[in-house]
Structure 1
Amino acid sequence: MSKRGWIIYNGNLYTKKFAEQIKWLRKTAETFDFEIDVIANNQLLVAMEEGCARILTEKQKPDFVFFWDKDLFLARQLEEQGVRLFNPAKAIEICDDKALTYLQLANHGIRMPKTIIAPKVFVSLEDDSHLGQVIEILSFPMVIKETFGSFGEQVYLIKNEQQLRQKAKELQHKPHLFQEYIASSYGRDVRLNVVGDRVVAAMLRKSDQDFRANVTAGGKMYRYQPTEEEEKLAVRCSQIVGADFAGVDLLFGENDEPILCEINSNAHFKNIYDCTGVDITKDMMAFIKETITE
């Protein structure tokens, strides 16, 4: 008997780029004999009635959900109702918040840039005395990252104290962190796509104009054969955050040793396909089928 699944996407982010990938996912899923419904998150409202939480839908509960969104309230409620999510809600939460990502990976021997999480500000930044410690530990240049951001956006290279204080004032109550600048990795990084316990595709991203290597920031893509050390690091990081699938980004240290940059739970697959010819949707659906039929 075929298994029933939902692909959940964000109903307010249905651009041509997203729509193409949703159709791609559905087509691949159907080749694995899954009965698939594609549903926007705003068509599955989480409600509380008479002291009980439920999802407002007439649809039959699926055997699994490919959760290609970051709507954590919906994700958690689906799990409360016994639905297996790929990725789980907790993994999505950790990966979506860069500060949580680094905290989760801390104390596991993972090589990461030195990172300081900005203290919480409710309304406006009135006391920036913490920046003195930030300068002492990280020096310049340094990187500021908003904890919520994608495609290399909300990431800033800070070259001096004036820029630091100005950017901290601009961000104020927005969650952000301060991070060591890895000069040896200027304009280049590696994206490794992990499915389960293995790396299924990898690409090198390089930019000659920007310290960020993201394609949306002007970076170019190249086929890449990861080292055994890079593969082990990517898989271990993915497993520590509890992800079934992840796009793990690694920086290059002074001796080209891999340094964890970030983990993406909802990594897009078109760029990696265009670069390598590897269709990771097949690996993901094969993993789902193996997992739910065990």
Structure 2
Amino acid sequence: MKNGIILYTREDYKKNQWFAERFIEEAPSQGMDIRLIFTDLIALGSENGRLFIQYGSERWDTPPDFAINRSRNSGIARQLELMGCRVFNSSVVTDVCNDKGKTHQLMNAHGIRSVKTLYGLSDWENHGMEYPLILKTLSGHGGNEVHKVDSQEQLSAFVAAYDGQILIQEMCQNPGTDIRAFCLGSEIIACVKRQSKDSFKSNYSLGGKAEAYSLSERECQLVMSVLSIMEFDFVGIDFLVDENGEFLFNEIEDAVGTRTLYQNYEMNIVEIYLSYIRNNLVK
């Protein structure tokens, strides 16, 4: 029996309790035992040249066999990895994919096209881009902290509100539509097309609609190009669609939501993911 943990913030667990409990309930059928762990009870420590984790009143000198990180916390993931625990997704994936600036930097460095994007600026007044702009915080997810900006006054207000931890982008010519590819390891599991008639945001959690989507051969090759850049476990890769129907890279969701997957496909992604984890632990 392999012993594992699933990491959540309390806020995310409240929103995703059903999904989290599926892992715990289905784990024994895969020869695993999984325990729910809340990140706010964790302290990372070191003593006498060795790392440990304090969890409430417990001290872990030996890590679990594996961890499913749904918390977006790369620091905890890194500590677990250094102690010998296999973490899904890795700390590197979590670190990069929860910083939109780092994600665009890496993807565009490998030739993956996106809309024009600026990040890491100190002088936001002279950005050289035309309004309207799309402004995002570097660490936002689920469509939160994404804004349409129509003027320098609005931009300045958001820069101050978010302490400059933002990026700005040209607005896609086909707003309100995106494609999400659910990927496990080096495979594409399924895709959905998300649309909103009322907003430039297509997120399902914000009222957008989703339907199953079949990738063309060209689109499939693009997703596979993204998958070749990092060693992902389970992620969602999002693309905008330009006025010519071509994909433009948007972002990668590390702790990807699965509601649209369950809504549009008859598959047990928890069972599939647990099987993937089991197979990777025996390598």
Q: TM-score, normalised by structure 2?
A: 0.90
Distance 1:192 1:101, change over 3 A: same
CA distance in 1, matches of 2:12, 2:207: 22
Q: Is the 8 A contact 1:200 1:283 kept in 2?
A: no
Q: Is the 8 A contact 1:10 1:42 kept in 2?
A: yes
Matched, 1:54 2:48: no
CA distance in 2, matches of 1:235, 1:58: 41
CA distance in 2, matches of 1:79, 1:114: 35
Matched, 1:20 2:18: yes
Distance 1:283 1:233, change over 3 A: farther
Partner of 1:197: 186
**Range 158-167 or range 217-226, more displaced:** 158-167
Q: Is the 8 A contact 1:151 1:216 kept in 2?
A: yes
Shift of residue 140, structure 1, vs aligned partner: 1.9
CA distance in 2, matches of 1:293, 1:82: 14
Shift of residue 107, structure 1, vs aligned partner: 1.7
Q: Which 5+ residue runs of structure 2 have no aligned equivalent?
A: none
Shift of residue 254, structure 1, vs aligned partner: 2.1
Q: Is the 8 A contact 1:70 1:92 kept in 2?
A: yes
Matched, 1:147 2:138: yes
State how 1:215-226 maps to structure 2 within 5 Å. Answer: 215-226=204-215
Distance 1:174 1:30, change over 3 A: farther
Q: Is the 8 A contact 2:4 2:32 kept in 1?
A: yes
CA distance in 1, matches of 2:164, 2:135: 12
Shift of residue 50, structure 1, vs aligned partner: 4.8
Shift of residue 58, structure 1, vs aligned partner: 4.8
The 3-state SS of whatever aligns with 2:34 is: strand
Shift of residue 214, structure 1, vs aligned partner: 0.5
Shift of residue 51, structure 1, vs aligned partner: 5.7
Matched, 1:131 2:125: yes
Q: Is the 8 A contact 1:238 1:248 kept in 2?
A: no
CA distance in 2, matches of 1:82, 1:34: 18
State how 1:156-175 maps to structure 2 within 5 Å. Answer: 156-171=147-162, 173-175=163-165
Shift of residue 153, structure 1, vs aligned partner: 1.1
Q: Is the 8 A contact 1:118 1:178 kept in 2?
A: no
CA distance in 2, matches of 1:81, 1:162: 48
**Range 55-64 or range 27-36, more displaced:** 55-64
**Range 279-288 or range 98-107, more displaced:** 279-288
Q: Which 5+ residue runs of structure 1 have no aligned equivalent?
A: 121-127
The 3-state SS of whatever aligns with 1:240 is: coil
Q: Deviations over 1:201-244 (max 9, x none)?
A: 11111101000100122201112112223233233324424321
Q: Deviations over 1:138-169 (max 9, x none)?
A: 31221111111111011111223343334334
- Choose which of 261, 276, 279 in structure 1 pairs with 2:268: 279
Partner of 2:94: 92
- Percent identity reads 27
State how 1:49-128 maps to structure 2 within 5 Å. Answer: 49-50=47-48, 52-56=50-54, 57-58=58-59, 61-119=63-121, 128=123
**Range 41-50 or range 145-154, more displaced:** 41-50
Q: Is the 8 A contact 2:134 2:171 kept in 1?
A: yes
Partner of 2:31: 33
Shift of residue 282, structure 1, vs aligned partner: 2.5
